[in-house]
Amino acid sequence: MAADQGGGREAGGGNHMPAPRTLVMGIGNLLMGDEGVGVHAVRALAEGASLPPGIAVVDGGTGGFHLLSYFSDYDRVVMIDATMDGQADGTVSLMEPRYATDFPRSLTAHDIGLRGPRRIGSDAGPGCRRSYLVTVSISDMQPMRVSLSPALEAAVAGVITRVSGLCGRCLAEDTTSVAC
C-alpha cells in the first residue's frame, strides 16, 4: 500500500505538484498481534487521517532491504514501529535516530529490522536528511493474531496525532526552511 496524501499530478491541466518530501512508513508483522501496530497506524492514516498535502504513506511490512530506496527517495522518513522497551503497553514515543545504533532492536528474528536499511540509506548519497521513529510500547507478541490489543488499538489515535503534528512541522520546514 502506498498513498500520496495530496502530491502527484493535478487533474486537468497536467501541471505537476512537487513530489512529496516526507514519507510516513509503518513497520510491523500483522500476523503477530501488537507487533503490527505500525502497519495498522499507516492504514488508519491512509484511510482518513488529516495529513498535510504532499505526505506519502506506505506499509513497510516487516522491514528489510526492500525499504532502502525510500531513504534515498524522500527528504524525511517518519517510521512507526512497535518496541519492547519496558514501558506500559500503548506508550507512544518519538525519537530522531541519527545512527543505526539509535534504533531499537528488531522485535522479530526473520527480518533485519530498521537498523540495516537506515545505516545503508545514510551511506547511499543524497536523499533522506532526517528520519524520525514513532514507537509504540508492547509487552509481548501474539503469534497468529491479526488484531491489536485494546491498549494498542487506543494508542493508534495517539500515533496519528503525533505523526500529523510532526508532518505539519515538516511541511512548515519545506516552506520556511525551519528545521522540523
- Residue-wise pLDDT for 21-34, tens only, equals 889 999 999 999 99
Domain parsing of the chain, residue ranges: 2-176
Question: Is 94 in a helix, a strand, or coil?
Answer: strand
pLDDT in tens, 149-162: 999 999 999 999 99
CA of 50: how far to CAs of 25, 159, 164, in Å?
16, 13, 7
Provide φ and ψ at 38, rounded to 5°.
Answer: -60, -40
Strand partners, 92: 136
Cell numbers describing residue 9: 499530478
Q: How far apart are CA 45 and CA 49, in angstroms?
A: 5
- pLDDT of 179 reads 53
pLDDT score of 62 more than 70 = yes
Helix (H, G, I), strand (E, B) or coil at 179: coil
For domain 2-176, give the fold: Rossmann fold (3.40.50)
Confidence (pLDDT) at 80: 94
Query: Could you tell me which residue, 41 or 7, shows the higher pLDDT?
Result: 41
- Which residues on adjacent β-strands are paired with residue 133? 79, 95
Q: How far is CA 20 from the centre of its chain?
A: 14
Count CA atoms closer than 13 A to 33's CA, side-chain side.
16
Q: Which of 24, 118, 116 shows the shortest CA–CA distance to 71?
A: 118
What residue has cell string 513497510? 60
Q: What are phi and psi of 138, to 5 degrees?
A: -130, 155
65: burial class by Cβ within 10 Å (0-12, 13-18, 19+)? exposed
Which band of pLDDT confidence, cut at 50, 70 and 90, is reported for residue 64? confident
Give residue 133's Cα distance to chain centre. 7
Phi then psi dihedrals of residue 17, to 5 deg: -80, 155
Length of the chain counted residue by residue:
180
- Cell representation of residue 54: 504532499
Highest mean pLDDT among 47-51, 83-87, 105-109, 117-121: 83-87
Structure-model confidence comparison of residues 14 and 48, the more confident one: 48
Integer Cα distance of 52 and 152 in angstroms: 25
pTM for this structure? 0.79
pLDDT of residue 104 exceeding 90? no
- Asked if the model's pLDDT at residue 111 lies above 70, the reply is no
Label residue 13 by pLDDT band (50, 70, 90): very low
